[in-house]
Amino acid sequence: MSGFFNNFFNSQLEFAFIWAFLLLPLPIIVRFLFPSVPVSGTAALRVPFFKSLHTGLKSRKKSRSLTCLFLALIAWMLLVTAAARPQFVGDTVKQSITGRSLMMAVDISGSMQADDMVINNRSVTRLTAVKAVATDFIRKRKGDRIGLILFGSQAYLQAPLTFDRKTVNILLGESALGLAGRETAIGDAIGLAVKRLRKEDEKNRVLILLTDGANTAGNVDPLKAADLAAQEKVKIYAIGVGADERIIQTPFGRQRVGGTDLDEPTLEAIAQKTNGRYFRARDVEGLLKIYSVLDEIEPISKDELSYRPVKELYYYPLALALFFSAFVALFGVVANLFNSPQLRRQTR
C-alpha cells in the first residue's frame, strides 16, 4: 500500500488531449441554438382542486427536472474528462542500451542437411545445431538490434534489424533446408547485409556469417562483397560449420567421407578484409565456444533510452459517466411512470 501512495505522489497528472475540455459548454450552446418545443395537450383528469394540485405537481416536476439536469451535467463533465484522456506520468526512467547493429546470415542450402553434429548423444543436421546454439546467443544479446538473413542459391532478408529478439528466434526456428535453394550464394548474403547495415552507426556494424560450403551461386563474388563491406565499415565474423569427416552407411558398409566442402581460405580472407575473425566449428561444443567469444564483445558505444511510465486513467471518469447517465435515464423512467394518467386514476 505504501508503494502505491509513493508512486501516486511521485507521478504527475496530465491530459493527453487537453483541448477536449473545450467541449464542456456544448450542451449550453445546443440549448440556445435549439430551444425546447412546448408540450401542449389536455389534462387526463379533471378535479375541482386542479390549481393547487397542478401547483404541487409542477413544483415536484421542477425539482425532479433540476435533479436530472444536475446529474446529466455531471455525467457530461465526466465524459469530457475521459475524452481528454487523463493519465499519471511517472518520473523519467533512463535505460542504457548498446548501439550495436548485428546481422546474422545463416546458410540453409542443401549441404546443411548433413547430420554430422551431435546434441545429447543424438546426430542432428548442421542447421539444427546452428539453430540450437544461435537461439541462445540471440536471446542473450539484450540491447542489440538483431537482423536475420537466410541464404542458399539466393539471399533473403527474413528479419530487419530489430530489438525484438523473440521474433528473430521464431523466424530462425521456422527456417527450412533448401527454402532459398540448394546452392550457396555467400557473396549475395554479404551484399544484402551491407545494404541493410549501411544506415546504421558505422562503428557498430557487425555481420555473423554461418556457412558450411563454398560460394557456388549468386551474382556477387564473396571477396568483392567483402571489399564493399570493408568500405562500409561492416565487420564480418565468419563461422565455418561442419565436421572434417563423417561416417555414412553404404552398400559396402560404413565408410568415412569428407565432412564438408568448406572454402576456408575465402572465409578467412573475408574476415581479414573487414577486420573480423574466422572461426571453425567442427561440433556443437565448438559452436558454443565461438558464440561465447562473440557474446563477450564489448559494445563500442552506448545509447541511452529514456521514457516516462504512463498509467491511463480515462476508464475511471468514463465508468462514472456511464453510471450517472444510467441513473438519469432510470430516474426519468420512474418519474414518468408515477406521472402517468393511468396511475393517477388508480390512486384517486
Q: What pLDDT is attached to residue 170?
A: 93
344, amino acid identity? R
Lowest-confidence pick of 101-110, 117-126, 337-346: 337-346
Give the C-alpha separation, 87 to 318, whole Å.
13
Q: What pLDDT is attached to residue 301?
A: 45
Domain ranges of the chain: 2-35+47-90+309-346, 96-302
**Locate cell 549441404: which residue?**
111
Instruction: Say how many residues make up the chain.
Output: 348
The CATH class of the 96-302 domain is alpha beta
Burial of residue 29 (number of CB atoms within 10 Å: 0-12, 13-18, 19+): exposed
Does the structure show a pLDDT above 70 at 253?
no
Mean pLDDT of 55-81: 73
Lowest-confidence pick of 53-67, 88-102, 175-189, 285-299: 53-67
Q: Which three cell numbers stand for residue 165?
A: 529478439
Mean pLDDT of 117-128: 80
Mean pLDDT of 332-339: 59
Give the C-alpha separation, 27 to 33, whole Å.
10
List, as one string, the DSSP characters of 177-197: TTTT-SS--HHHHHHHHHHHH
Does the structure show a pLDDT above 80 at 244?
no
Q: What pLDDT is attached to residue 145?
A: 85
Does the structure show a pLDDT above 60 at 60?
no
Q: Which residues of 228-265 are buried (b: 16+ CB within 10 A; e: fewer)?
A: bbbebbbbbbbbbbbbeebeeeeeeeeeeeebbebbee
Average pLDDT, the chain: 77
Share of the chain above pLDDT 70, in %: 72
Q: What pLDDT is attached to residue 347?
A: 45
Mean pLDDT of 305-310: 72
pTM exceeds cut of 0.75: no
104 or 253: which leads in pLDDT: 104
Q: What pLDDT is attached to residue 216?
A: 86
Mean pLDDT of 298-305: 53
Does the structure show a pLDDT above 60 at 222?
yes
Q: What pLDDT is attached to residue 300?
A: 42
